[in-house]
Structure 1
Amino acid sequence: MKNISPLNRILVFIAAALMISAYFTPLWQISLWAPQYPEGLNMKIWIDRLSGDVEIINGVNHYIGMKHIGVEMFPEFTYLIYVFGVIIAFGFLAVLLAKRWAAYSFFAMIAILGVGVLVDMYLWGYDYGHNLDPTAAIKVPGMAYQPPLLGYKELLNFLAYSGPDTGGWILGVSGLLMAIVVLTEFRKK
């Protein structure tokens, strides 16, 4: 069982430490702009809550039959803090062990978390944008209102954006650092 290099050990430590930011910064954001909201409406998704213009967005979405957005529709908020905690703790353990298998495992955990969160967000967005109240005031036949997973999308007279917020970008840096560690260690084999 080979040890990782001292530099890669430092990178693993930085990657694990950066992940702590998930507890203090918003991870994702969804923004909407329309003629009646030129300044935009913004919803921030944290590890355990929502913030921003959530109630105004709920008011607008009510007219087209979308569900009420609330913390209760995200069971993930009850366990994500623990999932992140386990991954961060394993990252620090990987630093102490300084073994390749531990660094590879830490990278795999980050990658699985990232893919899992994106799949979960896609499924939530699909359900949210397709399962509309049939008694809604505004109906456009054949129209779905699924927000974009990443990037921009026009929804009626709204331009919607979805993407990483501060915490999401920091987590991306953690993943990138771990990808560098894995690639450099794999090349040493």
Structure 2
Amino acid sequence: MKKASILMIIGPLFLLGLYMFPLWNIMLGAPQYPEPLGMNIHIDGIQGVSEFDIQNIDGLNHYIGMRHLPKPEDMWEFSTFPLVIGGMVALGVLIGLLGFFGKVSYKWFLGWFVLMSVLGVLGMYDFNAWMVDYGTNLDPNAIMKLTNPDGSPMSYKPPLFGHAKMLNFDVTSLPHTGGYLMFVGMMLTVVAFFVGKKASQAIN
């Protein structure tokens, strides 16, 4: 059980990478931009991949009626997510320590993983809902008003995951370093669960 508990302690610590590295990345490439424009989504705000990327993306968005990219103070998520991640790290380490000293069973390790998974799904849902609003709630007085073949207003929602074509832009949305670190950390807690289960079965 001690080996499983050590894994349980280490796993949540990987989430600390979210304070240093982006969670997600969205890149926009087009013929007129030899160097694609990009934005990194951190748990506490959005930053450009290059120095003027946010400024250039906001400039493009202005023509089609999209709002400026939000600053940290514009979205409650950017002040809440760091607290949630910090709380989950502390909870995970605490469960691991309690397991190490035999105060809780290995089943708690899986409980942490399930709770973190639920929070992750809710976070992705919230992020997608924001992108839907951002890409469809357009300024009616925009310089450019583009429509689909059926006459409905065109949506500029970036993909949540993967690639999409938006006008002459190729848009790619994928996890970044922080997202991969979070995934590794969560998988370690699953490994801890199975290691703890095997150790418990061996004793019994």
Same fold (TM over 0.5): yes
Letter in structure 2 aligned against 1:42:
G
- 1:44-83 matches, cutoff 5 A: 44-52=40-48, 53-71=53-71, 72-83=73-84
Partner residue, 1:24:
20
TM-score (norm 1): 0.90
Are 1:35 and 2:46 counterparts?
no
| Aligned-pair CA distance for 1:159 | 0.6
Q: Which residue of 2 aligns with 1:178?
A: 189
1:128 paired to 2:134: yes
Equivalent residue of 1:181, what SS? helix
Q: Equivalents in 1 of 2:19, 2:164: separation in Å?
A: 29
The answer to whether 1:103 aligns with 2:99 is no
Secondary structure at 1:66's aligned position in 2? coil
Q: Which of these two proteins has the greater Rg computed from alpha carbons?
A: 2
Distance across 1 between alignment mates of 2:87 and 2:161: 27
Deviates more, 1:97-106 or 1:170-179: 97-106
- d(CA) in 2 for partners of 1:73, 1:120: 15
Report the more deviating stretch, 73-82 or 165-174. Answer: 73-82
Structure 1 gap ranges (5+): none
* Superposed CA offset, 1:98-151 (max 9, x none): 122431221122212211111111101111111111111111113111100001
Shift of 1:90: 0.4
Q: SS of 2:64's equivalent?
A: coil
2:196, 2:136 → 1: CA distance? 45
- Which amino acid in structure 2 is aligned with residue 119 of structure 1? Y
Calculate the aligned-residue CA RMSD, in Å.
1.7
Corresponding letter in the other structure for 2:5: R
Deviations for 1:131-179, whole angstroms, at most 9, x for unmatched residues? Answer: 1111111111131111000011000000111111110110011122223
Counterpart of 1:114 in structure 2 is 120
Instruction: Give % identity.
Output: 39
Contact 2:159–2:171 (CA<8 Å) still a contact in 1? yes
Match of 2:169 in 1: 158
d(CA) in 1 for partners of 2:67 and 2:128? 16
Deviation of 1:184 (Å): 5.0
Q: Distance in 1 between matches of 2:120 and 2:34?
A: 32
Is the contact made by 2:40 and 2:47 (CA closer than 8 Å) also made in structure 1? yes
Matched positions, count: 185
* 2:155 alignment counterpart: 144
Verify the 8 A CA contact 1:107 1:182 in the aligned structure 2.
Answer: no
Aligned to 1:93: 94
